[in-house]
Structure 1
């Protein structure tokens, strides 16, 4: 197995629900093995009162605790899966995986399964004599304490799961995780070795490096990849956009060098790519924007018909795009002499606005509250946009205004719209009257 495949498996395990769960389970298993394998005789005599006097009492207690834990496990996760299924049908199925992989849920699952395995170890290994000694009795009492701990975690688990599927918590979680991704981009922008280069890179020239696997590549190890380029005197161009689905054998890297890279160097470069399962909002901020958009259009579907949720998503998206407008994301790394070590693609504002707001306008264009929320979003964005980005925002605002002029023609609707058309603080050119209806309408 090559190095890139090993690192990919390790990263996949670290990002899975089994990582933290398996660590906690290991601790419980070690405790169980220690309880049945160690022979401790020098315990204080005061602990003798904890011994079980009658034969079979400890075994019966462990059996009862085991049955109770299995029932608790089944009930907890059947309830949670029912809640998550409802949330997935109302909002987005992508959010269900994110909720289940939260660390607090992994911790609860680890404690549940660990407690069951601990009790199982005590049941499988018989005691010496009719009644357990003090050390083994303490192990049984520890098992009872683990069950009590699981009961307390059950209460917090059900509360946390029910809170996590509320729309306010979902959108706020997407907002926070996407802001963390933007913070990484902002820190990268402040470093001297990162720069923003204009002009298109000719990806047809150079030596291609093809992908070995298919999947989503959310990010790369920039420092490691730039170090390879510096040591071997070459330039690496990343031919895909972060967050794209890359198929096997796709030329993902274009190498500018005198000779094509050998297999060892190719393996080193491929090991710098970070594959993830699904769309990670912490690694790539665009995924957070698109997931908010998907929640909005799901809320606008006829089966759900919840424009309030869609407006909430528009507000959160506007907040994130305002932060993005105040940045100039770098798309290249250079050395101390200014030579380009590597370059990649960064999505521009025009593409982001169309990707995020066009589907919402398509599905919610007949809802006046959605149209006004979109117009207000564009007004807000215009205050943060520079001269180069403002015409794109103006074009989107004009489209929303024309759509309202075509669809809302009643006198009350027109008066309501025109009273709010040009109001607010913005830098757009908006008339206080709706334009004439287009010929196509």
Structure 2
């Protein structure tokens, strides 16, 4: 778990690149085995490359260091300004995703690495009457690194300016959510996962409480399944994935179908001393995070798109176009979510339940995704019609997956908000066209004005 946290942090790539550059800098100041330039072929060329004075390379290196520091300060001042603007316009939850983009980390790594390389060459003094060919070539390499940083600076400005545009923000968030949905689909295709009504008697279960706080968004269900089979038990998770857990909360309940182990008492907590190894392995299967991870839970991606939409509808921003763009992405993601087979338990080879957990239903997810948008945008006719178009599109798949009645209920709420705005004749004509447009399976009214 710590390795995954390290490799996905903002410091991973910059620190790796900085180490490579530092190693290259140490190699460049080591005594070299290069012969004297006069003894090499094309000696005039190598003689011209070799500095004759000690102060020349040091002056050049000092100028490069000062210029690179100024470039770094300017670059990341601009980043903070852009991130502040993005947080104000969209959602502060998106800021971490913008900062941790791989190309941003690569630029930071090249900046830091080039600076360390130049500092190593500047701090280690030259020996002899004049700089050697090896040290001279290291200075030229530092110049090339500075030129590379200038090119990356232009690339960095372009990427940062593009990354905070709403099209890029919505596309990136939608892509990450889609990948999370695909991983969920692949996992649920496994024979060990299924959807089933799982009953339990809490009086016959032993309780395991949480020992730390955080959001549990990663669960190693395969490890829990193997533990349950090995100890002949059933593990019932007491939390929903993505929920915030505080220390002392019920974490999971252990059910023993064939009787409690020796010394265990039903309805009480697991004994820490008698079953220390089991409890350690049960806790190790849970992954805690400090924030919302879209890669682990697709629900967070849908929620963040909804939050960007309602932020755009706030009076301070007043950008219904951004809200409609988010609803377009929500339409695609909700349609994919509708087709994903849901599983709430793991079974063994004999189809007996070994692990069960709570899974958010499509009805709950749809409600959380569109109801806040309707609440904040019900006075904007374009937002209401966009919501109706979302429901129309979902209705084409809703009958196949048994959600048509649910979609009709939400459509009735949206139609009520739309009809409340039919004050003038021009509004009525526009509303009537919006209600009749498009292919769908909803039962929408034909108002008689």
What TM-score do the two structures reach when normalised by structure 1? Answer: 0.92
* Contact 2:391–2:407 (Cα < 8 Å) also in 1: yes
CA 1:43–1:248: 2 relative to 1, 3 Å: farther
- How far did residue 253 of structure 1 move? 2.1
* Contact 2:381–2:421 (Cα < 8 Å) also in 1: no
CA 1:207–1:418: 2 relative to 1, 3 Å: same
Does 1:19 pair with 2:19? Answer: no
Alignment match, 1:351: 364
Does 1:368 pair with 2:375? Answer: no
Provide the aligned length of Structure 1 versus Structure 2.
428
* Contact 2:312–2:322 (Cα < 8 Å) also in 1: yes
Deviates more, 1:238-247 or 1:51-60: 238-247
Cα distance in 2 between the residues matched to 1:285 and 1:200: 27
- SS in structure 2 opposite 1:338? coil
- SS in structure 1 opposite 2:9? coil
Alignment match, 2:92: 93
- How far did residue 315 of structure 1 move? 0.9
Alignment match, 1:76: 75
Alignment match, 1:64: 63
Deviations 1:50-102 (A, max 9, x none): 21112211111110110011000000010121111111101111111101001
Alignment match, 2:51: 52
Cα distance in 1 between the residues matched to 2:104 and 2:14: 9
Unaligned runs of 5+ in 2: 262-269
Alignment match, 2:178: 179
CA 1:201–1:125: 2 relative to 1, 3 Å: farther
Alignment match, 2:414: 400
- From 289, 311, 316, the equivalent of 2:324 is 311
Cα distance in 2 between the residues matched to 1:342 and 1:387: 26
- How far did residue 263 of structure 1 move? 2.3
Cα distance in 1 between the residues matched to 2:226 and 2:365: 31
* Contact 2:54–2:126 (Cα < 8 Å) also in 1: no
Cα distance in 2 between the residues matched to 1:294 and 1:43: 67
- How far did residue 200 of structure 1 move? 5.6
Cα distance in 1 between the residues matched to 2:226 and 2:421: 57
- SS in structure 1 opposite 2:434? coil
Cα distance in 2 between the residues matched to 1:360 and 1:202: 40
CA 1:335–1:85: 2 relative to 1, 3 Å: same
Cα distance in 1 between the residues matched to 2:284 and 2:189: 26
* Contact 2:239–2:357 (Cα < 8 Å) also in 1: yes
CA 1:169–1:38: 2 relative to 1, 3 Å: same
Deviates more, 1:126-135 or 1:316-325: 126-135
Cα distance in 1 between the residues matched to 2:129 and 2:88: 56
Whichever of the two has the greater Rg, that structure is: 2
Alignment match, 2:246: 247
- SS in structure 2 opposite 1:432? coil
- How far did residue 176 of structure 1 move? 0.7
* Contact 1:402–1:434 (Cα < 8 Å) also in 2: no
* Cα root mean square deviation, aligned: 1.9
What TM-score do the two structures reach when normalised by structure 2? Answer: 0.91
Matches within 5 A, 1:68-217: 68-199=67-198, 205-217=204-216
- From 279, 294, 300, the equivalent of 1:287 is 300
- How far did residue 328 of structure 1 move? 1.9
Cα distance in 1 between the residues matched to 2:198 and 2:170: 36
* Contact 1:211–1:249 (Cα < 8 Å) also in 2: yes
Does 1:37 pair with 2:30? Answer: yes
- How far did residue 199 of structure 1 move? 4.9
- SS in structure 2 opposite 1:383? helix
Alignment match, 2:446: 432
Alignment match, 1:438: none
Alignment match, 2:3: 10
Alignment match, 1:4: none
- From 323, 328, 333, the equivalent of 1:320 is 333
Deviates more, 1:317-326 or 1:405-414: 405-414
* Contact 1:178–1:285 (Cα < 8 Å) also in 2: yes
- From 331, 349, 355, the equivalent of 1:342 is 355
Cα distance in 1 between the residues matched to 2:252 and 2:13: 33
Deviates more, 1:268-277 or 1:34-43: 34-43
Cα distance in 2 between the residues matched to 1:203 and 1:39: 74
Deviations 1:135-173 (A, max 9, x none): 222222221111111111111111001000000000011
Cα distance in 2 between the residues matched to 1:92 and 1:143: 40
